[in-house]
Amino acid sequence: MCSLSDGNCPIILDQAGRDAVPPDPPTVYATRVLQPTRLANGGWDAGGLVLQVCGIDGRGRPYRSEVLAFTTGSTVTLINPVYWSGMGIASVPDGQAGPSIAAGAERGSSVGEGCPGG
């Protein structure tokens, strides 16, 4: 899983809990597209597809998170592949730094409509 991600994956995996790996695949309840954007330094952010996922983790707790998938050439990269972490993907305006992991998806007693426990 972390082999498709950036260097933050092992840290987020430890924070989310290796013992909390969900027994079932997540439910994708929504998607959104991040368009490629020009960065302040003149480079480009690749954009990508944000998957909004939810489910029950390995500790029995509901989660709702976001995972960003994008390609560079023929390589697929995931931002926040630790999908039970409760993290979201921040969208940013043109000219700013690219998308990043952000707190604020959620963990809690309800994961929303279309999700287990929702």
Tens-binned pLDDT, residue by residue, of the chain (118 aa): 788 887 889 999 999 999 999 999 999 999 999 888 887 888 877 789 999 999 999 999 999 999 999 988 888 889 999 999 999 987 655 444 444 444 444 444 445 557 755 5
Whether residue 35 contacts residue 47, with contact meaning beta carbons closer than 8 Å, is answered with yes
Strands 100-103, 87-90: pairing is antiparallel
Q: What is the pTM of this model?
A: 0.76
Q: How far apart are CA 93 and CA 64, in angstroms?
A: 24
Domains of the chain, by residue range, sit at: 2-106
pLDDT, position 90: 79
Beta-carbon contacts of residue 3 (< 8 Å; ≥ 6 apart): none
How does DSSP classify residue 35?
Answer: P
